Amino acid sequence: MTDTAHACSNCSQHGEAERPNRADLTRRKALAAFGAFLGSIGLATASEAANAAAKTYVACKTSKVPVKGAYLAKVGGRSILITQPKKGVFRAFDPTCTHAGCQLSGMSGTNLVCNCHGATFSSDSGAPTGGPANVGLAKIKVAVAAGSVRVTF
């Protein structure tokens, strides 16, 4: 018979790879406690907490964003880079380069460019396409309504 309820982090019945380490157990306890806290204040998950705090802003008219181009908008006290990789398709990104934090400053073809060290990012997905950055741009929720680009964060 297998004992599945024993605390096996210190037992000799399992191999090293099967045992959860103490850091994992502590992290699980902390996440469970955080989930219980969110539940106690009426929020079931961390993503629900983030959504509850998010606001939607009108960033600009759709006509401000050229097809295959980008427009840097100031919205809610921060800069948001809005792109239109195809006619009628809008994306929004944090314009902070994921390499070392410079603000993206131009375009080359359909790529967003950081002039600090030459990283490039897809204006459609935000994925790195060249240079030293290997992490994509932070995406921002975007929608179009009544001829305006709206962003939510």
113 is an interface residue for ligand FES by CB under 6 A: no
By CB under 6 A, how many residues form the interface with ligand FES? Answer: 13
Nearer CB in complex with ligand FES: 9/115: 115
81 is an interface residue for ligand FES by CB under 6 A: no
Using the contact rule CB under 6 A, the part of the chain among 50-58, 83-91, 97-105, 136-144 near ligand FES is 97-105
Among 68, 99, 110, 136, binds ligand FES (CB under 6 A): 99
Nearest approach in angstroms of CB 122 to ligand FES is 15
Buried b (16+ CB within 10 A) or exposed e, 2-31: eeeeeeeeeeeeeeeeeeeeeeeeeeeeee
Tell me which residue of 68, 92, 87 sits closest to 150, measured CA to CA. 92
Nearest approach in angstroms of CB 123 to ligand FES is 15
136 is an interface residue for ligand FES by CB under 6 A: no
Buried b (16+ CB within 10 A) or exposed e, 125-144: ebebbebebeeebeebebee
Using the contact rule CB under 6 A, the part of the chain among 11-19, 29-37, 95-103, 141-149 near ligand FES is 95-103
Rounded distance, CA 153 to CA 150, Å? 10
Among 8, 38, 116, 144, binds ligand FES (CB under 6 A): 116
Residues shown for the chain = 153
31 is an interface residue for ligand FES by CB under 6 A: no
Q: Is the dihedral of CA 14, 18, 23, 25 positive or negative?
A: negative
